[in-house]
Structure 1
Amino acid sequence: MMKYPEFLKKGDLIGICAPSAGIGRKLESFDRSLGILRAEGYRIKETASVRLDSDRGGSAQVRGNELNTLFADPEVKMVMAASGGDFLDEMLPYADFEQMKRNPKWLMGASDPTGLLFPYTTICDVATLYGCNAGSYDLPDSAGMQCTPGSDGCQLQDDQPAPGNSRTGQDDRQPQAIRTEHQTGLADESRYLRDNLRFLKGENPVQETSEKHLGCAPFLAERIQFDTPTVWKSNTGAIHTTGRCIGGCIDVLKDLIGTPYDGASLFVDRYGEKDGIIWYFDNFALSAEMLYRTFLQMKYAGWFRFTKAVLLGRTLFEKSESGMTYDEAVEWAFGGVGQKEMPGSPQIPVIWEADIGHTIPHMTMINGAILRLDYEGGRGTMVYQEN
């Protein structure tokens, strides 16, 4: 049965480690991000490798040991990855998954930390959060954030009072704690970060298609400003379904296929027939051709058994070696609109260019939770359900 760790309450300690890269090149931004978490009332504990100026965040064994110390510490209530990167896979043999399973805690990261989140959920049966790293909360010029100097001086501003009845201190780890509340009128650039912080408390905001998104990589933008209309594409007209949510950065997931850290078959066997599966994928930079081949590899490996729907985020860095488009990559892999070789109804309903992954805004995904997905006319809503 899926284990849901305790949600956070004010005063709780968040442990931050560097399973991937260190953040030494962006210390000021990182400290502003930690200021957001402190303003929410949380305490912070960093492991020694977090502030290294290193693409690896230190040696693989050290990174694994530091992760293990956070899970062994009873005072630490949640573990966050400091940053993404490229080399998390090196530390997986040193991660003590048995200990992590015995001491379930929320584990959150984005991009390269997929390599840790995915086996923790699929093999250990513990829910995880994909959407932000500990250094993700710094949007210094966005409309919804006010930052002043000092580690505790950053706050996400909201035009409505924060709900006051978030779940605290529960010990049954069941998702009955999750509360649904749909806020309206929050179109500024930091809403998706506010939603993420609400999830940490056990709240359950409805996530919906953004009106606009930032049309380039965040680190290439002079100012975080949503300037590009958002339209979710699909190979079918409408999708109304539920299923167990699982996925992550597909650039990372493809390297796990067939390894000891590939728990996809275990997860699908455990939940597929009863609940159905909803996969989500964040494509950082796979070309259209590589994306297509990766979908085929996953299909051949049995990942898409019992799949109700697939969600694919906007690709951050698009490229093609043969002229294949991303639309074609999806349609050739799953069938549907525009598919010449296999016309007619799609084999699996797919949405792409969704608000998931490296572009912003992006949604918070809960690996292991039951997800309600509704899509029609280029727009969709997602909400996690009790189970």
Structure 2
Amino acid sequence: MEDGDGDELPLKLPRDSDEEDELPLILTRDSVLDYDQPSECEDQLPLKLPRESDDEDELPFILKRDSVLEDDQLPLTLPRESHNAALERFLGSDQETLNSVLTNILERFSELDADGSGTITMNELAAHWLSAATEVCKRPLSDSEKELIGASVQRAFDVMDLERDGKINKHEWLHTALLDMHPPGSVATEIITKKLRESEIPDIVAKLVHTWLSSDEMVCGMVTRKMLSTNLCFDPDVDTDLLDVLNAMGSDSITYAEFVANALRLTFRPVELYYYDLSKSFASVLSPVLLGQYEEGIWHTSVGVFDQELYFFGYILTCYPGQSAFGQPRKSLHLGHTLRTVEELNEEIKRVYFDYRPDLYDAFDHNCNDLSNHMVQFLLGRSIPDSVPCEICYKESDFK
């Protein structure tokens, strides 16, 4: 076949030819098309798709990385599911997929919800408590017993009714149940409740409960910090500051109360009780002879909180732990964690400052242990161990 017989081929594909009109479309490697310049072949392309072009009108819809889409650019906007709806959907799952503990909590709620309204009123809660007390006592309750139960119901209802609408819904009930699994103490519970009521975040209780139950598969009120942080990474509503706080925590596990406190930007602070033996160890040696029983020491106590030691030595004083006039403590006892702030503690010290003076000191009724007990009550809502106030705390001025 000779080159001059072009009519023998239906289509001529030239090799290394400079004549562009012999091909309907030429694709060359490593070539860059300039769409700003007129091309002789533009009528040969049915659709022009520019690469890295600034002419946005050449594409009907352009998606760029790291760009923010306006709502009017989307053909359909899907609203995000509310936290209340998400929690209800989760709780409405097949009962076989729910943890037995969670199932029992929900069944208890249904028992108290006598009218099936999906909420518990104070009358429903009171009627249940009275019925249970009557069954236990196996006799009619006296008026004083009914009044006592009524007061208890009122206190419990006030704590659980976070939205203050006169009824307890499921997420409030679950929140209370999760807190009670590892109780943070009455003071911490009161502070958490106050902060939740002050929060402006919609459905915050439902959000917290739903987020927690997504990680707490055993519904035991405690999960590993790593598991919780991992699950929170996939929640678009979670504040990154909360993740930073959780990742900075030293413990491997976290309770529901700690999770809620961190979400509300509250901080748990450790509270320690320091013991100083005023007998310089003589009590442990002489007490069996003198008292007929063994006593480990004659204790002066102080409270450690906010990296300070708070104690009574004529007046209310503070110092760095272990640097008071009593030297190093013989032992210490971890009492718990407080959600009080240092400002609140200072206000309480100012309030009772003049109640602790040298002229008001009493070795049995108004001593160092009484101040320690008062401060622990303020910080944690409970007393120091019963064994401490029983020890005679000699007048501190005798040991200068």
Band of TM-score, shorter chain: under 0.3
Could you tell me the TM-score, scaled by structure 2's length?
0.24
> Greater share of helix residues, 1 or 2?
2
Could you tell me the TM-score, scaled by structure 1's length?
0.25
Q: Which has the larger radius of gyration?
A: 2
Does 1 or 2 have the higher relative contact order (CA < 8 Å, sep 6+)?
1
> Greater share of strand residues, 1 or 2?
1
